[in-house]
Amino acid sequence: MTRPLSVAVAGLGTVGAGVLTVLRDNAELVAARAGRPIAVTAISARDRSRDRGVPLGGLRWYDDPVALAADPAVDVVVEVIGGSEGPARELVRAALEQRKPVATANKALMAVHGAELAALAERAGVPLAFEAAVAGGIPVIKALREGLAANRISRVAGILNGTCNYILTVMRERGREFAEVLADAQKLGYAEADPSFDVDGIDAAHKLAILAALAFGRPVAFEAVHVEGIRAISALDIGFAGEFGYRIKLLGIARQTEGGIEARVHPCMVPQASPLAGVDGVFNAVVAEGDFVGRVMLEGRGAGAGPTASAVVADLIDIARGRTTPVWGAASGALSDAPSVPMSEHFGAYYLRLMVVDRPGVIADVTAVLRDSGISLESMLQRGRAPGESVPVVLVTHETNEAAMRAALLRIAALDAVLEAPTLIRIEPA
């Protein structure tokens, strides 16, 4: 029998334990598809006494994860520690310098240091695989880098964070506010005790940076991604979105423009007929548009032990088979140097909600500011009357420039009849 592929796993949390479970429960299937057995022989985690729900007997245990890279009996290193710095980065660097293939589920590491690590892998002539870093079990990395390799990708967009999608779904279905739905999501385990990475859009931005690099053949550029989260979204906005025929989703969007690459993460209003509008709960989805293939959409569970471990093991099967592809789809010398387009140059339509004092002339003052900024209105909505009290006014613009919209927003916020900071949500075509 062909010698088993010897794997070391660093990190025995949800995903690490999941990798061991998949390799154990589907051992025969994995061996058949890999052409040889795949066996975990070494592990590293901080707490030896904790029960992970999987048998660990007979495995070599390292307290220092970086030491896994130097184990001569290890063929491949799996990094599922997490975080862009510290032991995760040191382990991946050490493994590549030892000319050992790496499979990682670490989106932060790949988004922030992916260019450096790709160069290391290229020099070492070994794979750096990261299917599990984006959208869990959805094979979006392979789809972009290999399945759509014959296409020029013009746009990639997606729901990249299940926590945010769950919160927005429950807010819409039950008419509840962000803070109370977040608290429930934390109790259910859908949100972390500190949810900032999720609800402030950082997790989705890490994933979008990776997708943009793959889609457009350019070195990863996390620092160029515009990032906004969902904390400011209210049940009121979700209700108005429905009246206008939209749903609110946190999207990551990367687009090839004449000026370069636009990459942004923020809440969007998407038409209810859009395929992304129907993706609810903790599910993720990614849409890619190619010049020959047209539009392709992938949907599924974007996190959790099973889906993420599935993606890690798929990478191990490729490594066992000797299937390798450059990290970003092409050798470093063939990557694009297209510039990043700043958010101020974005062009699109906008939803604007104001809370204003209900008195004559307020709407005229607001529309005068928009007129002076060259922004035209498609529609306006005001529900009910409450003279002298606060009422919501909703405006939907035609397509305009982000910089102009931002300048107009500052002037509108300064009007004495506007009682709180305006809410601005971009409208994204289907």
**Is 336 among the domain residues?**
no
Q: Return the pLDDT at 191.
A: 83
**Is 203 among the domain residues?**
yes
Q: Domain boundary at 85, 110, 133, which?
A: 133
Per-residue pLDDT of the chain (430 residues; tens, 9 = 90+): 589 999 999 999 989 999 999 999 999 999 999 999 999 999 998 877 777 778 788 889 999 999 999 999 999 999 999 999 999 999 999 999 999 999 999 999 999 999 999 999 999 999 999 999 998 889 999 999 999 999 999 999 999 999 999 999 999 999 999 999 999 989 888 888 899 999 999 999 999 999 999 999 999 999 999 999 999 999 999 999 999 999 999 999 999 999 999 999 999 999 999 999 999 999 999 999 999 999 999 999 888 889 999 999 999 999 999 998 999 999 888 999 999 999 999 999 999 999 999 888 899 999 999 999 999 999 998 876 777 788 999 999 999 999 999 999 999 999 999 999 999 999 998 6
The verdict on 168 and 57 lying in the same domain is: no
Model pTM greater than 0.75? yes
Q: Which of 341, 340, 342, 344 is nearest to 405 (CA)?
A: 344
**Is 58 among the domain residues?**
yes
Cβ–Cβ < 8 Å for 429, 377: no
Q: Domain boundary at 100, 133, 166, which?
A: 133
The verdict on 294 and 149 lying in the same domain is: yes
Give Cα 237 to chain centroid, integer Å: 23
The verdict on 119 and 229 lying in the same domain is: no
Q: Return the pLDDT at 193.
A: 86
CATH number where 361 lies:
3.30.70.260
The verdict on 241 and 294 lying in the same domain is: yes
Give Cα 59 to chain centroid, integer Å: 34
Tally of domains in the chain: 3
**Is 41 among the domain residues?**
yes
**Is 67 among the domain residues?**
yes
Count of beta carbons in the 10 Å neighbourhood of residue 95: 29
Q: Provide the residue range defining the domain that includes 199.
A: 143-301
Query: Distance between the two ends of the chain, CA-based, in angstroms?
Result: 52
Cβ–Cβ < 8 Å for 348, 268: no
Q: Which of 349, 413, 355 is nearest to 236 (CA)?
A: 355
The verdict on 40 and 118 lying in the same domain is: yes
Give, to the nearest 10 degrees, the angle between helix 305-321 and helix 14-25. Answer: 60
The verdict on 296 and 149 lying in the same domain is: yes
Q: Return the pLDDT at 374.
A: 94
CATH number where 23 lies:
3.40.50.720
Q: Return the pLDDT at 400.
A: 96
Q: Which residues have a catalytic role annotated?
A: 207
The verdict on 262 and 411 lying in the same domain is: no
**Is 356 among the domain residues?**
yes
The verdict on 148 and 259 lying in the same domain is: yes
**Counting Cβ atoms within 10 Å, is residue 403 exposed (0-12), middle (13-18) or buried (19+)?**
middle
**Is 317 among the domain residues?**
no
Instruction: Give the pairing type, strands 283-290 and 153-159.
Output: antiparallel
The verdict on 111 and 205 lying in the same domain is: no
Cα–Cα distance between 368 and 116 in angstroms, integer? 50
**Is 309 among the domain residues?**
no
The verdict on 294 and 405 lying in the same domain is: no
Q: Return the pLDDT at 360.
A: 87
The verdict on 160 and 179 lying in the same domain is: yes
CATH number where 225 lies:
3.30.360.10
Cα–Cα distance between 256 and 215 in angstroms, integer? 9
The verdict on 122 and 219 lying in the same domain is: no
Q: Domain boundary at 85, 105, 133, which?
A: 133
Question: b/e per residue, 347-363, with b = 16+ CB within 10 A?
Answer: ebbbbbbbbbbbeeebe
